[in-house]
A and B are shown apart, each in its own frame.
Chain A
Amino acid sequence: MSAAGPGVTTGFPEAGPPRFGSIAEVRTGLAGIDYLADEGIAGVVYLADRLAKPVLVEGPAGTGKTELAKSVARLTGSRLIRLQCYEGLDESKALYEWNYKKQLLRIQAEGGRQWQDLEEDIFSEAFLLPRPLLEAIRSPDPVVLLIDEVDRVELETEALLLEILSEYQVSIPELGTVRATQIPLVFLTSNNTRELSEALKRRCLYLHLDYPDVERERAIVLARVPGIGPDLADQIARIVRSIRSLELKKSPSVSETLDWARTLVVLGVESIDADIARDTLHILLKYRTDIERAAKELADGGTGT
């Protein structure tokens, strides 16, 4: 087609040099910027790079799904481009849009010209407004693309993503096919409010981010909360584990654990006893019944269960 912009090339985009040497390297790298990945997480990130496949990250809210994408961007020194999904998201918000006003001005300014020249002119890159997806694959620099909460778009809109996820290209009828100059690392997150389509899942690697185990949670608290002692962090991690083992409406997430830890540090707490726990539980839990149940369970030592 006419305007061979920086993004228009032929063939499947060349895979760049691998970003990571080994799984362990991913893990230590992420730990270096305070994202404590376990073996599984690091493995999937490593594979995503090697296989040039997007990663679908699912799991309860507040377990660091979005944070993972951000951290990988930081680690690889890439630009993070984020597409926040919502109901009613469409092509013009996700992929690209023609700049109608500019096109109109152009037509008015060139009253006398042949329509054919004009048409070729106004459907060129100068009149294109790239939206996140197009921007991500046109970018000459390395990019991490985060498609956040993909379960919020309707099933039909998901189809918009398929081309870019499997071929790393976008087809624009008037302009041709724009292929990626480099393969971005793509992360899709989902809160699992609905079943995603098979077509989408098939194109992705799948990572389920669950609540971390005690050791990892303690390490996360230590890394993320300034001024906290190892004893307190340990106690926090263990109390949170006990609370998660109860049947609650909403278990405390990692981010809520961190909030709680920060609060305790601000309050100058050295070691948690039942009273302090009860008074600050509302930071961890957001439902009244949950708070009551947890307070009761923590106070009576759990011999009953």
Chain B
Amino acid sequence: MAPGPDGADPAAGPGVAGEASEGSAMLAVLGRFIGELRAAGIPVSMTEHLDAVEVLRHVPLEDRPALKSALGAALVKSSSHWRAYETAFEVYFALRGDRYGIDGEPEGEPGRDDEAGGGAAGVGDGGRTGRGRGSGGGGGQGMTAEELAAMLLSALTSGDDSMMAAVARQAVARYAGMEPGRPVGGTYYLYRTLRNLDLDAVLEQLVAGRRSGGGDGSGGGDGSGGGDVEPPGQLTPLEDRLLRDEFRARIERLRRQIEDEIRRRLVADRGSEALAKSVRKPLPEDIDVMHATRDELVALRRALQPLSRKLAVRLARKRRHGRRGPLDFRSTVRHSLSTGGVPVEPRFRYPRPAKPEIVVIADISGSVASFARFTLHLVHAISSQFSKVRSFVFIDGIDEVTRFFEHAEDPADAVHRINTEADVVWVDGHSDYGHALTVFLERWGDELTPRTSVLLLGDARNNYHASQAWVVGELARRSRHVYWLNPEPRAYWNSGDSIVGEYGAHCEDVVECRTLRQLERFVGELA
């Protein structure tokens, strides 16, 4: 580490330096926080730890947003890690924030039962914001569902942050039904709160309210609504759309506040260390594709595009720089003329990249569908690295889907069309590997060449149909490589109706491919 700018030290963080015990407590929190980041998979080096310590000297601790982004700048060096960082930060630094702020609260100590019990906490919090929206502080205790709904509506119409925070507190106290001491991450509490608030209906109500043109005086009041004041009565579709997006954004903000609120209470209940484990989110590249939640799938889709771009760049560079071609005798002799016929500098031909042909055969039945989609997407996104890519999908029937990718600018479109248009059901729509592979061999088997690499994708759960494993052997005979990618953890292979072992015997390799990271590594080595 560079010795810090010592001249600047006295000026740093007023009120922070000097209190030695406080400082070391802070360092301990930071140490544990970094431990948690490492546990979540974010690589934090020693240097970065020291930087973070340095950061604490320069950023006022009271300013949580500033602290968050400053520590992030020192510790997190990839935008895809940011979410995991954010979660850990909220958990570890919420606790401290509360202790600071809790002075003014009637309860004094964060009594556990109160905290989880509901109403009382609401009052304290209302007072703590200091901005004390009348409705937020005063009416905290015995707010009826109707009052809460009305408050929610007006908070969203005005888009006022402190009011939304008050609503979030009320809603959590009322609906989440949190029980102290339970080792949970809070997803269920969040779900329960949101279900009770019924935000979809609220959105419709907001839009309708604004559309009728009646009570939109509040819209003008929030300052940002300047653009959409004039049209009374009828809105054009464009305006309607903008209005909707505005409210959606506000609702999203509210959702986050509710999430924060739940997390804050959980931290108060169980302490940050215990909670951190429950809420730890895997990095996008480590998410288990087969069991991803909807949010995680979105994160995966987002991660896929930069990933495939990076992979393509890397492969192209490798191809260009990795090898020299064979000696170019003619050119070497010609260039030797300038050195009196002595071949000082040998010349080489340009390397001719041997691009493999790829045939992807993917099971797209329910259990492994998302995995198949990601693989198809990735392979086609880097199709320039292969001389030819052909894709087939099956459940119990099989269909070629290469044509979807050929005309689509965006692989995501093509993947979407596969779901709706591919003809993959033969009898009952349960995976039948044996039948699908047999049909493949009959119809397309002659097109395999010794330059083809075949990728078989699926969990090989065959619903106890005949395996027809000899077909895979035949494929292997006709092509250069046959690989099997299995999205299931290795421990589950060959259990129940999984017969991956039977097929695997004929494959060059059977690869466990549960996460994007594993998938990327495999595809990278293939090209």
Contacts and interface: CB of A to CB of B under 8 A. Distances in A.
B and A form one assembly: yes
Given A202-B48, A273-B236, A249 B410 contact: yes
A109 B204 CA distance: 87
B238 A201 contact: no
Contacts of B78: 201, 206
Nearest to A297: B241
A117 to B, nearest CB: 33
Contact of A242 (B11, B242, B410): B242
A302 B69 contact: no
A301 B313 contact: no
Contacts, number: 155
Interface size class of A (residues with CB under 8 A): 35 or more
A182 to B, nearest CB: 12
A17 B11 CA distance: 11
A240 to B, nearest CB: 10
B5 A15 contact: yes
Interface string A92-118: 000000000000000000000000000
B47 interface: yes
Nearest to B225: A234
Contacts of B51: 51, 53, 205
Contacts of B236: 273-274
A49 to B, nearest CB: 8
B69 A39 contact: yes
A10 interface: no
B336 to A, nearest CB: 25
Contacts of A272: 238
Interface in A22-58: 23, 39-40, 43-44, 46-47, 50-53, 55-56, 58
Tell me the interface secondary structure of chain B in the complex: helix
B227 A235 contact: yes
A4 B263 CA distance: 60
Q: Which of B47, B237, B313 has the most CB of A within 10 A?
A: B237
Nearest to B48: A202
Contact of B66 (A39, A195, A198, A214): A39
B70 interface: yes
B8 A238 contact: no
Contacts of A205: 51, 73-74
Interface in A194-247: 194-195, 198, 201-208, 210, 214-215, 230-232, 234-235, 238-239, 241-242, 245, 247
Interface of B: 2-8, 11-12, 43, 45, 47-48, 51, 54-55, 58-59, 63, 65-66, 69-70, 72-74, 76-79, 82, 224, 226-227, 236-238, 240-242, 244-246, 249, 306, 309-310, 313-314, 317, 321, 409-410, 412-413
Interface of A: 12, 15, 17-18, 21, 23, 39-40, 43-44, 46-47, 50-53, 55-56, 58-59, 154, 166, 192-195, 198, 201-208, 210, 214-215, 230-232, 234-235, 238-239, 241-242, 245, 247, 249, 271-274, 277, 287-289, 297-303
